[in-house]
Amino acid sequence: MKLFYSPSSCSLSPHIVLRELNLAFTLDRVDPATKRTESGADYLAINPKGYVPALELDDGELLTEGPAITQYLVDNYAPGTLAPLSGTIERARLNSHLSYIATELHKTFGRLFDPALAPNARSAAMDYLTRRFAFIEQLLSDGRPFITGADFSLADAYLFVIQRWGSFTGFDISQFPNVVAHAGRVMARPAVQLALDAEK
């Protein structure tokens, strides 16, 4: 398998999952400005969406969108690990978290990376993120170590990646101590360290 990635982007989530599952894969870095891969390929010819992540399977099939990639990996290579089995209520709950992170946090942060974003729009996005992270903060306030409870899951990998964007955009994540503590627990995982080291 080959993962197309850009450092510190949302492709870090499937990168972490690949390492958590100890799967064999290669990396090909994508320059988001030129849409060229480190191997010299035209990334738009590989993935017309133009953004990462994309996972090329051994048979040549290409998967895109982080939550879809990570669920495919778990379901096909380690069912019941990092995600409850498909079709269970526990899996539906996990999917709810993945959707929330994707639509409420990830998408809103995306606006803050736009240098042309008007100050009032930036302020509105910051306020929106504050309200949305408050939900995660409350969720973690019961002492659970991870989003769904005792066990690290796909949602934890995804949240870890997205909350890191606070330091790139000026969003103060320190106002959410439970989220910060969660990030510390995720950061301590060997697979996460390996992924971060590989992406420099």
In tens, the pLDDT along 19-54 reads 999 999 999 999 999 999 999 999 999 999 999 999
Beta-carbon-side half-sphere exposure of residue 80 (alpha carbons within 13 Å):
0
Q: Mark whether 100 and 142 lie in a shared domain.
A: yes
Q: Which amino acid is at 104?
A: E
Range of the domain at 148: 89-189
Q: What 8-state DSSP symbol labels residue 85?
A: P
In the β-sheet with 54-56, what is the strand arrangement from edge to edge?
Answer: 36-37, 26-31, 2-5, 54-56, 62-64
Q: Mark whether 98 and 185 lie in a shared domain.
A: yes
Q: Mark whether 54 and 104 lie in a shared domain.
A: no
pLDDT per residue over 109-165, tens digit each?
999 999 999 999 999 999 999 999 999 999 999 999 999 999 999 999 999 999 999
Q: Mark whether 19 and 69 lie in a shared domain.
A: yes
Q: Mark whether 132 and 183 lie in a shared domain.
A: yes
Residue with the two structure tokens 């990830």? 106
Q: Mark whether 183 and 94 lie in a shared domain.
A: yes
The answer to whether the beta carbons of residues 199 and 12 sit under 8 Å apart is yes
Distance CA 27, CA 134 (A): 35
Q: Mark whether 94 and 70 lie in a shared domain.
A: no
Q: Mark whether 105 and 148 lie in a shared domain.
A: yes
CATH number of the structural domain spanning residue 42: 3.40.30.10
